[in-house]
Amino acid sequence: MFSLEGKTALVTGASGGIGSAIAYALARQGARLALSGSNGEKLRVFREQLQDEVGGNHVEITCNLSDSQQVEELVPATIDTLGGMDILVNNAGITRDNLAMRMKDEEWDDVIRINLEASFRLMRAAARPMMKAKGGRIISITSVVGTTGNPGQMNYVAAKAGLAGMSKSLAQELASRNITVNCVAPGFIRTAMTEALTDDQRAGINSRIPAGRMGEGGDIGAAVAYLASDEAGYVTGQTLHVNGGMAMV
């Protein structure tokens, strides 16, 4: 069940906390991966680690998502390298937090360019070869705050909410071609960033989560693996919230 044997996937932000968990989940189900990120050396080290632990013949493709030309070249490079692309996972993202009154234009522009515009460009680039292949999976990682809002993150929330809406529109355009378009919205997930929190800060966060704890990267990876599978072929235009009950929507 949920086998991805013979499938190829592009994962952006692949060497980060959630991105690496997604890569592991897809690789364990048999997919061959193109791992993308802006740090080529970090990607290489992660690819070698993934192959040592899980196996497979994966590749890394460096891409700066703030550079529109590099973004436009990423899907063609993936197809040239892997021979096709069945799955696109838009995972990469940045934050430039600030209160709205103090937010600089560049803080807004940077987040929208990388978190929303780059995802649009990759979706657009992936749609044509997937239509030609008569099938595909497009999965974007959003956030619980795209639904609930969050003070100090007007730019980030706008991008994540926009990504969910954009996915619904594309899902309607591509459904007849056996291509699904969905989102996974993590809540608080244990990463290097959350490990830097104090015990009191972690306790405060956990008190807001009915499950009483933060999630793990593997929780997000499992959700992505499901949506990438044949078993999820009738699921499209949806956002799967993985947040321990923190926001029930």
Provide the residue type at 198 as one letter: T
Tell me if 22 sits within 8 A of 48, measured CB to CB.
no
CA separation for the pair 145, 151 (Å, rounded): 10
Task: Return the structure tokens found at 114.
Answer: 């990388």
Provide the residue type at 101 as one letter: M
User: What DSSP character marks residue 189?
Assistant: B
Residue found under tokens 């550079």 = 67
CB within 8 A of 187, min separation 6: which ones?
A: 144, 209, 214, 215, 241, 242, 243, 244, 246, 247
What per-residue string of b and e applies to 40-50 under the rule 16 or more CB within 10 Å gives b? Answer: eebbeebbeeb
16, containing H or E segment: none
3-state SS class at 150: coil
Residue found under tokens 């933060």 = 214
- 156 catalytic? Reply is yes
Which sequence positions are flagged as catalytic?
156
